[in-house]
Every structure is written in structure tokens, then in C-alpha cells.
A and B are shown apart, each in its own frame.
Chain A
């Protein structure tokens, strides 16, 4: 593969600047919320200067900004870059801007509604808790903006296929399209939930809502959402990491197979978040559990392929013996600082993956569902590999698109390792606490962690405190990142034109597998399985709910209407 350098024009530069810098501000705000939560939970503070005394308003901000806004923006920015780079084509800038502006307006609306206290519903926005209609509209615009970005790539892809008959689509493009195919399918149920249920009900056009159905539609979307986060990180792991390590991708076919499996099995798994719910037959929960195990398979293949690729790189760099290659990887190489973001994330993900299989394990979920174990788990996934890959790549793209040198590379390089230490401590505290019953989404400060309260739970205290220690270290590493990032934003421009080049990896084993070349059969298989897995669930829900619910405010036990 010849390396290719893409020239960046002005409109593209401004757009990507916006798409990378604004979400970083959102992320910093969201992480601030995270730190405050740990302090609230330990009873160290009762009020914070930005959010005030309302823990749950802050928690809504934390979930929405970090997990919905930051991730969606990044996926779109990264997709814009990968598709135009790997296919060597120009984006239609008008639609790219439309997408960016929709997402910006949507995120600003949703954030504002949370900030003024009109949407304290957490990022899952389960009714009968009601938010301001503008909150739902904001989220809708964010999603529609991401759709527009995807639709803008499709003609380029089709053109490339026409012009390169029989050739394999670049793996990075396969990954990005997988991400957005999953996203496109999975956002339909949540769009139905928002547009046909939440919005009219929140505006007062209808009086009641079927809370159980809404919740089921949310999780129809909610699990594929986590793959929407994870898959861009997989693109980096497959397409860039082996090259950064100085090696090759062990198997190109494995990468393609993994992405196709994600298309098929990412979506028919949502009720694994509802194992403890009423109104859904246990047999359907088990079926979704089965598919969840199927979707773990591509991640296990990935673990093997990446380990093999890194071993190849380590041996090429002179590593000897069974494990010697591990010590030869460029963990601290300033010129390959991006590697540290990817490798640290992978290490965290080992534990994220294991704890995820625990959650997925049907009856075992009884022990952990909605306990602090769960946030412990997903800070090892979305706030682990996903966060680090997204931050690293944001910095990389920023410096390329703005044509600026990455500042303080040493600090940039150390940040992921500091985060890793922090998140391990944090998650250990949360998970251990969860195992002895500490609930999630709960401000333990005034009650369970308060010696003067009748509800005081002395056994939880040490774990709550451990999560504070971890949270402080995590925050510290984000502060380091923010300094590096904004120092880069404000650095002096380099001479010459802005250009983009990705460290694209060559395959070690390269096979030509016709059945992995086309998305179509996989998408059809996905749709069939989704219909089979979800029809009985929806029927159960409709048959076993007695009626609808009026809206409620989080402040008052009496319904709003």
C-alpha cells in the first residue's frame, strides 16, 4: 500500500476544527460533573459551584455530555476524515456543514435544558419522568445530524465501488460504515420513542405514556449505542495500531469478519439490560442473552488478532522469547504518542470485557443489575478504550486539520497511563461496592454514607472513598489532556499546507474473501434476526401493561397532569 497524503481545504479545516474543539469543551464539563459526583457520593460536598446542590442534574449532564454528545461528535468527525482519506475523495461540504450545525444546535439545546433544571431525567430519559420538549428535540437534532453525515458518505462509497470493481474496500471504511449502519438501524426505535411517544406526551398533546414500552424501545437502541462508541475505536485498533507499533495487521480477513458480525449481532440484544424487568418473557430475555454471547465473539477474535499483530511488531523490534516482545512496543515513544492511547485502552478493555460478560450472564445479572458495579464496568469500556482512542485521535486530527504541531508530547503520551491507573482504582471501588449492594445513580452522601442517617451503611464507606481517589486521578489526567489539546489549538501554524495522513496498516495475512466484500447480505441477516428477536418482546410488553402513565417531575410525587 502506497501511503497517501490528503490535502485539506479551508472549509474542511474550519468544519473539523468545530467538530473536534466544541465536543472537547463538552467533555471537560462532563468530566467535571464526574469528579463532583464522586465527592457528592462520599459526602465531601453537598453543593457544587456550577450545578448547585442537585446531584441528579449533574449526573444527567455527565451522562449526556460524555456518553451521547462527545461520542457522537467524534464518530462523525472521525468518519468524515476516514472516508474522505481512505477513498481519496472530497466530501460534499454543504451537507457536512449541515450535519455539524444540526448536531451543535441539538447538543446546545439539550445541554441548556439540563442546565436550567428542565431535564433532570438522566441520559436514559425513562418516562414517566418528564423533560422539557426541547430536551427531546435537542437529542433528535443530534441524531439527525449524525445521520446526515452518514448519508453524505454513502455516494462516495458507491462511487468508489463503481470505479474499483472487485477491489476490497479499505478496512477503515468498512469499520466506519459498520459503525454507522448499526447506528442507522438502532436509532430508529429511539426515534419512534421520542417522536411518537415522549414528545407529544411532554408537550401535552397526549396525556399518558406506556412507560414499559418506552423503556424497551430505549434499550432496543441502548445496547447498539455502546457499539456505536466502541466501533470507531476498533477501526483505530485494526487500521492504525499495528502500524504505530511497527508491524502489520495479523489478518485482514479477521477484521472484516469482525465488523460484519457486529452488524448482525449488535442489535437483537437489548433486553439484556432488562433482565430484571417485568412484562418481558424470560425465554426472550434468554434469547437476547444468547445473541449477546454471539456478539462477544468478534471481540474475542479481536483480542487474538490484535495480540498477534502486536507480537509481530514486538518481534520485529527485537523482542525474544514468549513474552519478550511485550517489552519492545513503543509505549513511551514521543513520535508515536498515539500508540499509548490505543494500548492503554486495550488493557483497560480486558477488564471491561470480562465484567461485561458477567453482566450479560442472565441470572448472574441479578447480583449486579443497577448496583454501582455497572458504572464500575462501563468506565472500563466507554470511559476506557473508547474515551482514550477518541481523545488521542481528536488530538491527532486536530493537529493535522489545523496544521499545528502537537504540543507537550511527553504529557500527551503519559495521560492515558495516568487515566488507566485512575480508572482502575475508581472502578474497583465502584464494582466491589456494587457487589455488596451499593446502588448506582444514587447520591449516597446525605443518606447511606452519612453517619448521622438512619440509613447509614458502614460497609460501603471504604469503597465510596476508593472511588474518590480514582476519580481525582482520572480528573487530573483529563486536565493534562485539556492543557495539551488547547495548547495545540492555540499553537502557531506550521509552514505550508494542511495535510492528513493516517498510519494505515498493511495486512500480514491477506485473503480475498468474496462473502466479506458486501454489506448487503449482512444487513439483511441483521434485519431478519432483529425482527425475530424483538417481535415477541414488543408483543409481551403490549399485552402485559395495564395502561399509560401521566408525566412526573423529579421534584414532586404528584403527577404534573
Chain B
């Protein structure tokens, strides 16, 4: 190997090392995670929304051919949602537009990611894994609002609000 080759090799290595350190930084300093192995949640077969704290919710979401259950969720601004997703039949996908949420829903497993909504708005999600004939009709939305009426109509769990 001549000098220029060694230089190129060294620079390539440094570039990749820098990229990799950026991932570690994002994880350690910014807390941006990818889903991990969940073993402490019992498999669920129906969807539920629990309020677990002032601004904190736990959402158990079911995916099935060809709908999300629930397909529409309304929550107040500032909510943190602990999202648990599973599938009742085959593999589906779940990505919330504009949020760092992207989960595969695989039957007999549970996927999890926490997410916080600080901006009001409608957050659209579409199934992104092929799940049969009507896959392209499988979508839903999370509505984040401060409007008391909408929230009342949404009938949040946990009673008081």
C-alpha cells in the first residue's frame, strides 16, 4: 500500500468512526432509542388506554387485517405515551408522521416505544408493512389538542382531567 492509500483508508475509518460515535451520542446524551426486547408485559388481545400519571398514558394497540385498534386517539398537549403494539394476525407496521416512532407489529410479540407530544395537531399513521389485500387502507391518527370539548368527547381513561 502506498501513502495515498493508507491515507484514504485512515480517513475512511475515521469517517465511519465519527458516524458511529454520533449514534452513541444520540443514544446516551439525547436518549433516542430503538425498540428493544420486551418480556415484562403480558401479551394483550384487546386495546386499552390507561392514564398512569398526570401527563402520562399507556396505550396498548392492536394491529389486525386491516385496521389499527384504536384507529383514533385523542390526548392533551404534553402527553407522554408509552406505546405497546402487537398484532392479532400477521405482520404490520406503524409509523407516526413527524415523530420518532416506527414500530413493527409482529404476532406473539410486543413492541414498545415511549413518545411525547408537545405540539397540538393531527399525527397521521399508516401501516407500512404489506398485510394483504387492503393494506393500503390501514391507517389512523393521534389527535393532540387543548380543546376541552374534544378531550371530553374522547372520553379519556382515568376519570379526572
Instruction: Please list the residues of chain A having a beta carbon within 8 angstroms of any beta carbon in chain B.
Output: 54, 56, 59, 122, 126-129, 210-212, 215, 250-251, 253-254, 274-283, 285-286, 289-290, 293-294, 296-297, 300-301, 304-305, 308, 357, 361-367, 369-371, 436-437, 439-448, 455, 457, 509, 511, 540, 543-549, 552-557, 559
| Cβ–Cβ contact A363 & B100, under 8 A | yes
Given A275-B34, A544-B38, decide whether A215 and B128 contact each other with a Cβ distance below 8 A. no
Interface presence of B117 (CB below 8 A): no
Of the listed stretches B50-58, B74-82, B88-96, name the one at the interface; the rest are far from the partner chain: B88-96
| Cβ–Cβ contact A277 & B2, under 8 A | no
Given A128-B89, A371-B128, decide whether A552 and B65 contact each other with a Cβ distance below 8 A. yes
Q: Within residues 114 to 161 of chain B, which ones have a CB less than 8 A from any CB in chain A?
A: 124, 126-133, 135-137, 139
Residues of A with C-beta under 8 A to B112: 278
Closest CB pairs A-B (n = 10): A439-B128, A278-B111, A300-B12, A554-B132, A282-B36, A557-B65, A304-B8, A370-B128, A437-B97, A278-B109
| Cβ–Cβ contact A361 & B19, under 8 A | yes
Residues of A with C-beta under 8 A to B49: none
Q: List 9 A-B contacts (CB under 8 A).
A: A279-B111, A281-B37, A285-B36, A293-B16, A308-B4, A308-B5, A363-B23, A448-B136, A555-B133
Given A128-B89, A448-B126, decide whether A369 and B95 contact each other with a Cβ distance below 8 A. yes
Residues of A with C-beta under 8 A to B48: none
| Cβ–Cβ contact B32 & A363, under 8 A | yes
A115, B149: Cα distance in complex, Å: 53
Given A251-B1, A371-B128, decide whether A293 and B19 contact each other with a Cβ distance below 8 A. yes
Interchain CB contact (< 8 A) of A447 among B19, B27, B136 = B136
Question: Smallest CB–CB gap between A76 and chain B, Å?
Answer: 29
Interchain CB contact (< 8 A) of B109 among A212, A448, A557, A559 = A212
A210, B8: Cα distance in complex, Å: 45
By beta carbon, the residue of chain B nearest A370 is: B128
| Cβ–Cβ contact B132 & A129, under 8 A | yes
| Cβ–Cβ contact B133 & A554, under 8 A | yes
Residues of B with C-beta under 8 A to A556: 65, 132
| Cβ–Cβ contact B108 & A545, under 8 A | yes
| Cβ–Cβ contact B97 & A436, under 8 A | yes
Question: Smallest CB–CB gap between B27 and chain A, Å?
Answer: 7
Residues of B with C-beta under 8 A to A308: 4-5
A163, B17: Cα distance in complex, Å: 43
Highest count of chain A CB atoms <10 Å: which of B15, B19, B34, B91: B34
A279, B64: Cα distance in complex, Å: 19
Given A122-B130, A509-B2, decide whether A276 and B34 contact each other with a Cβ distance below 8 A. yes
| Cβ–Cβ contact A442 & B16, under 8 A | no
Given A285-B34, A370-B95, decide whether A296 and B107 contact each other with a Cβ distance below 8 A. no
Q: Within residues 17 to 75 of chain B, which ones have a CB less than 8 A from any CB in chain A?
A: 19-20, 22-23, 26-27, 32-39, 43, 64-66
A509, B6: Cα distance in complex, Å: 13
| Cβ–Cβ contact B110 & A278, under 8 A | yes
Residues of B with C-beta under 8 A to A283: 36
| Cβ–Cβ contact B39 & A548, under 8 A | no
A245, B48: Cα distance in complex, Å: 65
Residues of B with C-beta under 8 A to A540: 37
Question: Smallest CB–CB gap between A365 and chain B, Å?
Answer: 7
| Cβ–Cβ contact A253 & B1, under 8 A | yes
| Cβ–Cβ contact A279 & B106, under 8 A | yes
Interchain CB contact (< 8 A) of B90 among A210, A367, A552 = A552
By beta carbon, the residue of chain B nearest A128 is: B90
Question: Smallest CB–CB gap between B96 and chain A, Å?
Answer: 9
Highest count of chain A CB atoms <10 Å: which of B15, B23, B98, B124: B23
Residues of B with C-beta under 8 A to A59: 130
Residues of B with C-beta under 8 A to A290: 20
A157, B90: Cα distance in complex, Å: 46
By beta carbon, the residue of chain A nearest B111 is: A278
| Cβ–Cβ contact A455 & B37, under 8 A | no
| Cβ–Cβ contact A211 & B136, under 8 A | no
| Cβ–Cβ contact A215 & B20, under 8 A | no
Interchain CB contact (< 8 A) of A56 among B43, B64, B130, B139 = B130
Residues of B with C-beta under 8 A to A279: 37-38, 106, 109, 111
Question: Smallest CB–CB gap between A121 and chain B, Å?
Answer: 8
| Cβ–Cβ contact B136 & A301, under 8 A | no
| Cβ–Cβ contact A549 & B107, under 8 A | yes
A367, B99: Cα distance in complex, Å: 8
A253, B27: Cα distance in complex, Å: 37
Residues of A with C-beta under 8 A to B91: 126, 128-129, 211, 215
Interchain CB contact (< 8 A) of A300 among B16, B90, B127 = B16
A544, B112: Cα distance in complex, Å: 13
| Cβ–Cβ contact B34 & A363, under 8 A | yes
Residues of B with C-beta under 8 A to A543: 37, 39
| Cβ–Cβ contact B108 & A212, under 8 A | yes
Interchain CB contact (< 8 A) of A297 among B12, B37, B108, B136 = B12
| Cβ–Cβ contact A254 & B5, under 8 A | yes
10 extra A-B contacts, CB within 8 A, seeds A250-B5, A366-B32, A455-B137: A56-B133, A251-B2, A254-B1, A279-B38, A294-B16, A369-B128, A370-B93, A370-B102, A439-B127, A543-B39
A447, B139: Cα distance in complex, Å: 10
Given A357-B19, A361-B19, decide whether A276 and B104 contact each other with a Cβ distance below 8 A. yes
By beta carbon, the residue of chain A nearest B140 is: A455
| Cβ–Cβ contact A301 & B8, under 8 A | yes
| Cβ–Cβ contact A549 & B35, under 8 A | no
Given A122-B130, A128-B90, A544-B38, decide whether A300 and B109 contact each other with a Cβ distance below 8 A. no
A304, B133: Cα distance in complex, Å: 46
Question: Smallest CB–CB gap between A128 and chain B, Å?
Answer: 5
| Cβ–Cβ contact A557 & B35, under 8 A | no
A441, B103: Cα distance in complex, Å: 16
Question: Smallest CB–CB gap between A381 and chain B, Å?
Answer: 18
Question: Smallest CB–CB gap between B39 and chain A, Å?
Answer: 5
Question: Smallest CB–CB gap between A61 and chain B, Å?
Answer: 14
| Cβ–Cβ contact A297 & B16, under 8 A | yes
Given A56-B133, A251-B1, A275-B34, decide whether A544 and B39 contact each other with a Cβ distance below 8 A. yes
Residues of A with C-beta under 8 A to B23: 286, 289, 361-364
Residues of B with C-beta under 8 A to A285: 34, 36
